[in-house]
Structure 1
Amino acid sequence: MKLKIKKYSKGFTLVESLVAIGILSLSIAATFTAVQAGLKTSIAAKDQITAFYLAQEALEYVKNIRDENALHALNGTATWLTGLSAISTDPCYFGKICRIDVGQSSVSECTLGTGTCPNLNKDSTSGLYGYSSGTTWSTTSFNREIQLTSVSADSITVTIRVRWVSGGSNKTFTVNGLVFNRQ
């Protein structure tokens, strides 16, 4: 009588194990790459939204000054561009580049020699942007410049440029708005 020896193979061979580990590693690496790309995209989108709101804030502030001047014009103490561009010494006189700090209700000419404005600071407590400094304020990569151009005696173009660095590249968002004399 002859004995049969049965050979049972249990488990995986070394080659099968290496192939499985390779496939698993590639799928994990692809997932991490997709997550990293998603994070970069979301950060870029957040920066674009911030730039949009910073530009909108400046345009609304110019309109607010125009509206306040309309009230002061009733008693003869202001023209519609007083404090912005009524006379050549005003901070945003036509051709000058100026900055607006909404939190401090101030408009000033950018005087860094090149005509560019300093970067905005952000208050970590309130989340507001401005040019204030202190323990809760930190410098951001956002830079906002405002320039007024005369269109006619009763209208101006307000150009707002917001610049920032995102992902190692320079970005710019520009808004042009027409503002009219409402008097």
Structure 2
Amino acid sequence: MKKSFTIIEALVAITIFSLGIIYIAVSIWQSYSMASQATERFIAAYLAQEGLEIVKNLRSENYLNERAWNNNLGAGDYEVDYNDDSLFIYQDRYLMIDSAGFYNYESGNPTIFKRKISISYPAQDQMKVTVTVFWPKKGLHQEVEQFSVTEILYNWNQ
């Protein structure tokens, strides 16, 4: 009777130990997955803000060069990177990252991110700029994550 009780104890101990190891492994995997998602959202937020700042700079350059405040900033969907001096029609392309860490469409390593800049005019002296960054969601389904920022820019030089 004492031997069988020891075998039962050993089986229970092995089961508890195995469940503990499985719990630790699942926790580590979930932590890694959450950190990866947080990194992707952080990069998406950066890319969205960068897109908005580029449009603001183009509007400011129009003022400095004594052009209409919204010159070459018509309503539509666009893409642009940091070294462009105008917007380009949105082509649903992936951004690339170069060796200096800058995102662009011409050279570097491909990324998982796409950026769309949408411009509309809700009023005569208002430009609504929405920048949306898309990237594939990890998992079995072909779902897409997105992060958007919107700002209303004004014709402040009148």
**Map 1:117-156 → 2, pairs under 5 A:** 117-123=92-98, 125-133=99-107, 137-156=108-127
Answer with 1 or 2: which has the greater Rg.
Answer: 1
In the alignment, what sits opposite 1:35? 28
Counterpart in the other structure of 1:6: none
Gaps of 5+ in 2: none
Could you tell me which residue of structure 1 aligns to residue 10 of structure 2?
17
* TM-score, length-scaled by structure 1: 0.75
Residue identity in the other structure for 1:109: I
Give the CA RMSD over aligned residues.
1.8
1:178 aligned to 148, 152, 158, which one?
152
Query: What is the letter of the counterpart of residue 103 of structure 1?
Result: N
Q: What one-letter code is carried by the residue in structure 2 that aligns with 1:158?
A: V
Assess, with a 3 A threshold, how the Cα gap between structure 1 residues 105 and 69 changes in structure 2: closer, same or farther.
closer
Is the 1:47–1:166 contact (alpha carbons within 8 Å) kept by the matching residues of 2?
no
Please tell me whether the aligned partners of residues 96 and 110 of structure 2 are also in contact (alpha carbons under 8 angstroms): yes
Aligned partner of 1:79 in structure 2 is: 68
Identical aligned pairs, as a percentage? Answer: 32
Per-residue deviation, 1:18:
2.3
Q: Which has the higher helix share?
A: 2
Unpaired stretches in structure 1, ≥5 consecutive residues: 1-8, 86-92
Instruction: Say which of 88, 93, 96 aligns to 1:108.
Output: 88
Tell me the TM-score normalised to structure 2 length.
0.86
Shift of 1:47: 0.9
1:99 aligned to 79, 84, 92, which one?
79
Q: Name the structure 1 match of 2:63.
A: 70
How far apart are the structure 2 equivalents of 1:143 and 1:159?
Answer: 14
* Equivalent residue number for residue 88 of structure 1: none
CA-CA distance at 1:127 after TM superposition: 2.2
CA distance in 2, matches of 1:142, 1:39: 20
Residues in 1 aligned to 2:85 and 2:20: alpha-carbon distance in whole angstroms: 54
Aligned to 2:138: 167
